[in-house]
Chain A
């Protein structure tokens, strides 16, 4: 995924000399290819993120297409106001690349972990928010971000979780969700974004064979009609994200469901807490209940509650449905 990221950037910059890459002194080996092939388009702005984003706005005004790279704990979190005011307010074509989202920096603690970035960026007007799951989605997101001519936040989380797609993707409608595992109509739908798409596919395979799994790389704008259709065709939804349960994908699906086809929704994500301890990435997922075993327990509990409720009020329309085993 990171190779694809580097390749996409180099490709875009070679094709269009208006593309410039700004980094806040991050991305040590990541930009070797970019620096050797597009040296004049590479700007290390120093450890000065606020100025970097303001400058990106100035460069966009001067006709450039800036890509601003940083760790997602800093871009967008540290520079949220610059993104809002300098870039989004005036709809400037600046792409923010937030790397290491979620718990990638599992040993470094909260300063380098970002589990609130989707919520913060989703609320900024005119700012698009992407969250790819594998290199196919990343490639699509990068190209789409370049084409859009508007501000975009592209979130990159754990990059080595393996592929969820098998071939290059084509965007049929803006904000499209991709089905990555077929299931039974009227059954459970797992909707995931970023690093947890792979987990969702594995979870369905081992514990919920009738569940359909969707990947949502485009969180804003999302194709509301398609998302509503998924609600319509599901008895219940489980959303999965390496992000707070407040304001991310789970909230987004709840917002859509409640105004289209109301369905019970389990929001799997980070609770209202910071990491307590440190360790491997897998260890941190366990601490936050986001490893596959913990998620399976949560989903089983959720479906069991639903079945219990269904049997208590079997006359309630729309709830007498087959939940996946």
Chain B
């Protein structure tokens, strides 16, 4: 059953689904899913076109979650769209489950197999290049983490996308400032991500990645641009956004929920009545 028509992809609701999954599956990677919730909410609500609400529709736009570790945020959106059900949410990581801890493209709704970083970006560039050759109007959105930008393949793809003027390709960088072992500034300082993409030939801008209106305006503005260049949005986000004891605390990248922390997280989201 599709509930797309009634879903507003309300961020707090998406975060609750993520918490439900994380608790059910006793799993980690909650904060890196939380940091992209508003980005995915806006994309699903306002931009991604799935004719007939079919995740396999040939004319669909492509959402490439290169940052596979944030997959629970996409599962939460897929639940809103009716592509997966309560059973999958409650049975996360149960034996025989199709929903894995990282993106597996054999599940409808996930376009690439990611988790090893720096892969999805190039696949997205390939999809965009195919659309460019066929002169179709579909759009490709590649969501990458800032830690993922350490991977050289990203910059190979950026060169190609800019050189070929892939105007239907948009990279959205989830700049939450953390990677596996610490702050990105301490591990491998990226400097200005916007300037980097701009210097490669992208039309780039930086926004607050949790401000839904800002996200919507930025995406609309970039697509409306007459420039024949790929687009880059650097979304300043907070890892663990929405739950104060997770925010900016990298330990939570590896921490599982207990009944107590689950309850506190739900309370922090103001969702006790949901």
Contact = CB atoms under 8 A, between A and B. Distances in A.
Interface of A: 20, 40, 43, 45-46, 48, 50-64, 81-82, 85-86, 89-90
A54 B125 contact: yes
Nearest to B122: A54
B82 interface: no
B70 interface: no
B129 interface: yes
Interface of B: 58, 105-106, 111-114, 116, 118-131, 133-134, 152-153, 156-157, 159-160, 163
Given A51-B156, A59-B126, A62-B126, 14 more contacts: A45-B160, A50-B118, A50-B152, A51-B157, A54-B119, A54-B121, A54-B122, A55-B122, A55-B129, A61-B127, A63-B58, A63-B134, A85-B114, A86-B113
A59 to B, nearest CB: 5
Given A59-B130, A85-B113, A86-B112, A50 B123 contact: no
Given A53-B122, A54-B125, A58-B129, A85 B116 contact: yes
8 contacts: A46-B163, A51-B157, A60-B126, A61-B130, A62-B130, A62-B131, A82-B119, A89-B105
Contacts of B156: 46, 48, 50-52
Given A50-B156, A51-B153, A81-B116, A90 B106 contact: yes
Nearest to B154: A51
B113 A58 contact: no
A54 B129 contact: no
Given A48-B160, A50-B118, A82-B119, A59 B152 contact: no
B122 A86 contact: yes
B124 A58 contact: yes
A229 B151 CA distance: 48
Contacts of A85: 113-114, 116, 119
B122 A58 contact: yes
B123 A54 contact: yes
A222 B118 CA distance: 34
A93 B134 CA distance: 19
B261 to A, nearest CB: 33
A54 B113 contact: no
A64 B111 CA distance: 16
Contacts of A89: 105, 113
B160 A51 contact: yes
Contacts of A82: 119, 122, 153
Rank and list the top 6 A-B pairs by shortest CB-CB distance, nearest first: A58-B126, A54-B122, A62-B130, A55-B126, A48-B156, A51-B156
A70 to B, nearest CB: 14
Given A51-B125, A54-B125, A46 B111 contact: no
Most buried by B among A40, A53, A61: A61
Contacts of A81: 116, 119
